[in-house]
Chain A
């Protein structure tokens, strides 16, 4: 792992919303092809971490590094073009647009038509249900179907790193497992996954490594197995008394 260069890195990142200090000296690194997860309670700074990675929030100090280049002042589109994308919390599909249009927007910045066509086919084979509903408005789909479209839309950007914000949030319990299988499947295609998840048990069982964020500070940084075994973590996040 350490012989490779990280795709995306946080170096001593601090962010503020007005006077409120959100992220405090955060260091992260995401390497090609790995699956990592970020755990933390409410208001611990998880969402801000994602937004900072994508350039929707500008850090007050520290560096966001993409492929060795400092990208603090580059817009989101710059990062998307270079293979970073996200499946947002609650999916946030364009509900009034058709399923196909949602997928096409995922590939908004791509110019390789053939590649886009190929990726569309790949998504159809991955989610046959999606193919049946291409012309339907995305808002009319069921929760599970929407989750598929959201993932498909992200995959259409041909990402190297896929950020996932609470992928199992708002899904029926029966769907949660399927959902993680899908994530696993995407991961197996060689896409690095950075997952922010409440369901720490499930997330850590899939991930290679993980971080724990507490009031904006990284308090734990270890392999998934080690984290699963960490008694303190088990107590506070894994729901064990």
Chain B
């Protein structure tokens, strides 16, 4: 079997806001630093997606203007492929707009409903004021680890019974600023509002995703530890600022 971890960067041409491409770079480097084979493929608008070709998916956030271009493309087949991959236990990391997109729908503040792919049990409601700022939340997959990031969204996401949150907000807004949840977890899907970008400063999350992908692909998700001095310093500096 091909041992190369095949990462699909979905819609890098549209969902490329707020430095989210750094997440793909992070996944790639953390494989390379461990001398594990990895390859990145970009799948953009108009290019077919075959879920079988990949072991891990990344989808970022974008601007509203560009997302209108995206939806017709998404519903011309990519949605079914993504759903199949998710049910098949393949890891997906989805940020902000990409996170919302995996849910059922988005209702704008003036009542217009935009249907999304409905792979996961949650929906998003637009509000007029944006939720912006550095924030910190627990990472429930790794008790004791806090995730730091930057959120910037006007959508409030409400999780249904079929999914659980990625963690609890310690400072900031999170999914909706009301129930203290942040992000989503379902099988091997990790969804979150966190930019920053997310993975470089939160190596525990990066490794959790890589580990899930390797476990599924090779039956062994054990990863050698890396010297994360720079990562830890950047993480701890902000954690200290937010939590004192």
Bound pair (A, B): no
Residues of A within 8 A of B (CB): none
